[in-house]
Amino acid sequence: MDEERKDIVAGIYIRVSTEDQAREGFSLPEQEEKLKALCTYKDYKVFDIYRDAGVSAKDMEHRPEFQRMLKDIENGKVNMVITKDLSRLSRDYIGTGEFVEKWFPAHNVRYVALTDNIDTF
């Protein structure tokens, strides 16, 4: 097995705000389909799909599925987080940077933002 794919257990995080729902290409089913296809292609095991619908990215504390994903990471159930793009994680670049550069690495979690071509591997 390719070393890159060894023991990858992904958490797929999808989110759509009320503003995003009005735009094309941001629906939860479309995000889920693209990210599941990536996992299938790369042979990553999907632990769970975390869905926050109609929730702004401004406040991470009030996103129940995001918080559930963080608990699963802390409990060692997930070692990769995949989102459609960075804005699904947060619209606040400082908050996003904290997770991508500090929190995820501190928990040995690889982060992938598909359309932004980001992979912290």
List active site positions: 17
Which residues lie below 8 Å from residue 31, measured CB to CB, with a gap of 6+? 14, 16, 84, 88
Taking a C-beta distance cutoff of 8 angstroms, is the pair 40, 8 a contact?
Answer: no
Structure-token match 């409990």, residue found:
75
Determine how many CB atoms are found less than 10 A away from the CB of residue 50. Answer: 22
One-letter identity of residue 117:
N
- The kind and range of the H/E element at 82 are strand 80-83
